[in-house]
Chain A
């Protein structure tokens, strides 16, 4: 199956690959996985005092579509508020990357990852 140009671009030049220290204040970590294909995705955000996402990093082991989906999300969330970032829908990701139906679950994984990261950040703030 051929990947779209946008998927190839993110796959060959993934943006924001890396790790943040998960215990650092302001950092939220989302870990998600897709058992059937064995994909694992870690998406992290660093939130400033105004509640704006100032940085995002990801690390994904999986197919090109999963890598591209998470790479795209880290680009999108930078500069957004938590509320705005939580609005990102898997359908937006799938549309932007022109994912075929069999790869839609990769975009779902990326949406789950950003939601999990936001939740983790909020839990850390409230504790």
Chain B
């Protein structure tokens, strides 16, 4: 597959929703376009249409939904962009920076000790803020990395590797954020 096909394939989620292929997206345009398209293919409009047309409109609606779910989430969006370069992030990966894993370990440790603190919810908030700011830092880094990747004439494997590494980190941090939110619910239940 050539690069131009990869970037401009008519079936890709970005063009489906009328957006340029990019990691940085305008959320407002994304949702406005989504609603406009859903309106235009609403089943009511196909009351007098043939079965085939009706079927196509249902398929299209499902596709548009998938596209929205994928593009509105930064992690899913970046995994999708990487998949367009043939990169699949596996379950196990030995290429993760040990220092980063060490940090994850410490954050997990702190999270597991929250219950023993005088102010568990306050402590949890501090951890959650920390995790969020780490995620945001990665997201702004990814904006640059993907911009470079997508504007390159030829596939840059080094850059792809660097980008994948950041996406892997975001995956860890997202999981950690979910755990923090679960913990928050547990703590709230105990109050």
Dominant secondary structure at the B interface: helix
Per-residue A-contact encoding for B155-181, CB less than 8 Å = 1, 0 else: 000000000000010011011101100
Q: Is B108 an interface residue (CB 8 A)?
A: yes
Q: Is A108 an interface residue (CB 8 A)?
A: yes
Name the interface residues of A63-87: CB closer than 8 Å to any CB of B. none
Per-residue A-contact encoding for B81-107, CB less than 8 Å = 1, 0 else: 000000001111110101001101100
Residue pair A112, B171 in contact (C-beta under 8 Å): no
Residue pair A36, B105 in contact (C-beta under 8 Å): no
The CA of A35 and the CA of B91, in the complex, are separated in Å by 6
* Chain A: interface size category: 10 to 19
Residue pair A31, B175 in contact (C-beta under 8 Å): no
Residue pair A105, B92 in contact (C-beta under 8 Å): yes
Give B35 Cβ to nearest chain A Cβ, in Å. Answer: 32
Residue pair B91, A105 in contact (C-beta under 8 Å): yes
Chain A residues, CB < 8 A from B176: 38
Closest chain A residue, CB of each to CB of B167: A35
Q: Is A26 an interface residue (CB 8 A)?
A: no
Q: Is A6 an interface residue (CB 8 A)?
A: no
The CA of A34 and the CA of B108, in the complex, are separated in Å by 14
The CA of A108 and the CA of B92, in the complex, are separated in Å by 8
Residue pair B105, A61 in contact (C-beta under 8 Å): yes
Chain B residues, CB < 8 A from A33: 93, 96, 101, 104, 172
Closest chain A residue, CB of each to CB of B94: A112
Give B98 Cβ to nearest chain A Cβ, in Å. Answer: 4
Q: A33-B172, A35-B168, A35-B171 are in contact. Are A40 and B93 (CB under 8 A)?
A: no
With a 10 A CB-CB cut-off, give which of B96, B168, B176, B179 has the most chain A CB atoms: B96
Give B21 Cβ to nearest chain A Cβ, in Å. Answer: 24
Q: A34-B91, A34-B92, A35-B93 are in contact. Are A40 and B101 (CB under 8 A)?
A: yes
Give A108 Cβ to nearest chain B Cβ, in Å. Answer: 5
Q: Is A42 an interface residue (CB 8 A)?
A: yes
Residue pair B105, A38 in contact (C-beta under 8 Å): no
Residues of B within 8 A of A (CB): 89-94, 96, 98, 101-102, 104-105, 108-109, 112, 168, 171-172, 174-176, 178-179
